[in-house]
Structure 1
Amino acid sequence: MQPIRDFTSLFLQDRPMIDVRAPVEYAKGAFPSSHNRPLMVDHEREAVGTCYKEQGQAAAIDLGHQLVQGDLKAERVQAWVAFAAEHPEAVLYCFRGGLRSRISQQWLSDAGVDLPMIEGGYKALRSFLLEQLHERLRVGHIRVLSGATGSGKTEVIRSVDQAIDLEGMANHRGSAFGYTGSTQPAQIDFENAWSVAWLKLAARSSGPVLFEDEGRLIGRVAVLPEFLVLSQGAPIVKLTVPLEQRIQRICRDYFQDAYQRHLCHGEQVALAYLDEFVRGALTRIQKRLGGVRFARLIQCLDAGLVDLAQRGGWTQFENLVEILLSDYYDPMYDYQFASKAEHTLFEGNHQEILQWLAQQAQ
């Protein structure tokens, strides 16, 4: 069976992939449609690797067969067979498309299942996606959605077909308060998902892709430096939303959401989590806030927790958000936006921007 060389079709079709690398390798980076069904688990791979360094390839292969045999081998082959039965169009890969892929493919064939392997394995797929991503960044056919904190930029991004939601891919909202309760992906996983999404958009349309204006980090995930440079000079669509609406959105999406996620464990647990979440975020930006402003915000938090526990009220949290926006986030946004305001193509609220983008796509 010929190995897969057409990586573009592979990702455009979301072909299911069996990643036969060890779990520790998979955790460092994989692909959106991949599933880890290892030939060897971590300690087995480590033992074989040590044997290879000390005694050579032949001895390492022999050790691998000794470690994965009998019921253990049958169990792993069955995992591949079950996956192939559920996904007949599946392909498989290891790190370089070498020995592990060939062994897995042969064992599958012995079990009556023929699956193609990817030429070059994970390394070749990763290189392809990085090249694709850097090429699109070089071409630079993008627009940037700008707007003050709490404007609801993500809502716009998710309502547009020709857009990529980097914060959604990063499982983070991109600020000190951006933790969503979900684990963030590995850096490589983030970059791979970004490249695949852009590959699909490019195959569907030649129009510009809309991105949210991002900083260097989205939580612990880093945005590529080339994107930051590109976005500084890219055409801007500016989202404008009244302060009161922004306060309500932040309070709802950040604080009330965090509270509700933990309320199933009891009110005290939810209150404790909300306290830890907000206090921790404020502490991370304490130096930039300054001592007086930080103390005032902590007072709002303490009062808000009491009010929430006693009366179920969120007024003090809204006061906290208003201080953060008026005294910290908005001045910072205005300063940063001033340097690129001349690139603004259109300015409006959610509905106006969506209507304008729809007209531009015609």
Structure 2
Amino acid sequence: MNNATDYLAILRDDIPLIDVRAPVEFAKGAMPSALNLPLMNDSERAAVGTCYKREGAQAALRLGHQLVNGELREQRIEAWLQACAQHPQGYLCCARGGQRSHIAQQWLRERQVDYPLVVGGYKALRQAAIEATHQRIQRPLLLVGGCTGSGKTLLVRAQTNGIDLEGLARHRGSSFGRTVQPQRSQASFENHLAAALLKITPDFWLLEDEGHAIGANHLPDIVRERMAQSPLVVVDEPFARRLERLREEYFVQTLRAYIERDGEETGWRAYAEYLRHGLFAIRRRLGLQRFEQLSVRLESALSEQQRSGKSEAHFAWLAPLLEEYYDPMYRYQLEKRAPAIRFRGTFEDVSAWLAAL
């Protein structure tokens, strides 16, 4: 049994990790291939931490063994045993490769299962992820820009050298960008980005032109700095094609995703609330009078979609929202970066241009 120190290989190859940290720690930051099977839950960890501060390490260790004992101990060992059987090439991981992963390793060994751990734990993996991003993003970058609905994300996903930042962030980058999956913590987003950058070594990276944040996730400073220095290819799509693409993505696929997650009735309510929230988030920028007008059209479109199943009625509020808000805002930003533009054309033109590269 060899404990792991090749952190980049763990990230690059999606090596399974049995992460024995408490759920609250896991939620703050985790590796892409990690499964959270804690040695102690949040309240148990808090009690042990308080004991450590008041009475020292030995007293805290004794309390930990008292809290995780008997049937509870058996349940947690059983969960680890199942995970070990499912992921025989994996590793145990705790915060720093200290007592928790060693205790889990010892309890498994008592069941005749020899399972290695990550030396240095999550902290070492996290540092490796930060350094990997800094190093890998130094390769040349090309950004894909264009107004909302131009198909930028589709273009990036279609290229072997594409890094789908919005997919990693679980957000589409606008006030309507929320997906049915909750966003990851900032650290987890950065860890997923590092893993994606480690998987291939292209001549250049292809990234979507993004702002400093994608929903609640912020791009690492080094990534934003490199993007600001990088050339740009712009997708110019006819307005009608953009509307149709957005209709399919926001009003068809999104509704389907909510219903699949929540069921017909609850899913519909969640979908309607998602659209209302997106419009409400930009009400001050729209002006309250325009916001009220578009809200009335949104409610009418929702009623029509619920009645007939057709989503074209949403164009009554989406089209003016693009023409009056999103398009002018993006074109203003694009004008400031005109010298960086290397090519512009339709979705097909840009696809062909990228293929020729």
- Normalising TM by the smaller chain, what interval? over 0.9
Change (3 A) 1:234 1:47: same
Distance 2:48 2:219 in 1: 36
Change (3 A) 1:351 1:38: same
SS at match of 1:234: coil
Tell me which residue corresponds to 1:175.
174
Change (3 A) 1:305 1:7: closer
Q: Match of 1:175, as an amino acid? A: S
Q: Match of 2:294, as an amino acid? A: L
User: Among 242, 266, 275, which residue is 1:278 paired with?
Assistant: 275
Cα offset for 1:37?
Answer: 1.4
Distance 1:108 1:212 in 2: 45
SS at match of 1:115: coil
Tell me which residue corresponds to 2:157.
158
- Is residue 90 of structure 2 the alignment partner of residue 93 of structure 1? no
Tell me which residue corresponds to 2:323.
326
Tell me which residue corresponds to 2:190.
191
Deviation track 1:161-215 (CA, whole Å, cap 9, x = no partner) reads 111111111111110111122211111111100011001123xx3x111111111
Equivalent residues of 2:180, 2:258 under 8 A apart: no
Tell me which residue corresponds to 2:19.
19
Tell me which residue corresponds to 1:255.
251
Equivalent residues of 1:12, 1:199 under 8 A apart: yes
Equivalent residues of 1:160, 1:354 under 8 A apart: no
Equivalent residues of 1:271, 1:305 under 8 A apart: no
Cα offset for 1:262?
Answer: 4.9
Q: Match of 1:295, as an amino acid? A: E
Q: Match of 1:254, as an amino acid? A: Y
TM-score by length of 1: 0.92
Distance 1:287 1:184 in 2: 25
Equivalent residues of 2:165, 2:207 under 8 A apart: yes
Change (3 A) 1:107 1:359: same
Cα offset for 1:55?
Answer: 1.0
Size of the alignment, in residue pairs?
A: 356
Q: Match of 1:134, as an amino acid? A: H
Change (3 A) 1:287 1:92: same
Cα offset for 1:225?
Answer: 3.1
Deviation track 1:224-260 (CA, whole Å, cap 9, x = no partner) reads 2332232222111211211001011112211233434
Change (3 A) 1:72 1:280: closer
SS at match of 2:145: strand
Tell me which residue corresponds to 1:235.
231
Change (3 A) 1:310 1:106: closer
Tell me which residue corresponds to 1:350.
347
**After the TM superposition, which residues 18-167 of structure 1 pair with which residues of structure 2 at under 5 Å, given as runs?**
18-137=18-137, 139-167=138-166
Deviation track 1:247-299 (CA, whole Å, cap 9, x = no partner) reads 11112211233434456778776664444332222121111112343233123
Q: Match of 1:53, as an amino acid? A: K
Cα offset for 1:15?
Answer: 1.2
Change (3 A) 1:320 1:196: same
Q: Match of 2:280, as an amino acid? A: T
Tell me which residue corresponds to 1:209.
205
Equivalent residues of 2:235, 2:344 under 8 A apart: yes
RMSD of the alignment, in Å?
2.1
Equivalent residues of 1:94, 1:101 under 8 A apart: yes
User: Among 301, 304, 309, which residue is 1:307 paired with?
Assistant: 304
Q: Match of 1:24, as an amino acid? A: V
Equivalent residues of 1:178, 1:254 under 8 A apart: no
SS at match of 1:158: helix
Cα offset for 1:18?
Answer: 0.8
Cα offset for 1:17?
Answer: 0.7
Tell me which residue corresponds to 2:338.
341
Query: How many percent identity over aligned positions?
Result: 42
Equivalent residues of 1:236, 1:346 under 8 A apart: yes
Change (3 A) 1:346 1:72: same
Cα offset for 1:130?
Answer: 0.8
Equivalent residues of 1:3, 1:119 under 8 A apart: yes
Q: Structure 2 regions of 5+ residues with no counterpart? A: none
Q: Structure 1 regions of 5+ residues with no counterpart? A: none
SS at match of 1:145: strand
TM-score by length of 2: 0.93
Tell me which residue corresponds to 2:10.
10
Cα offset for 1:216?
Answer: 2.1
Change (3 A) 1:13 1:181: closer
Of 224-233 and 280-289, deviating more is 224-233
Equivalent residues of 1:240, 1:349 under 8 A apart: yes
Distance 2:239 2:214 in 1: 24
Cα offset for 1:311?
Answer: 4.5
SS at match of 2:249: helix
Change (3 A) 1:276 1:123: same
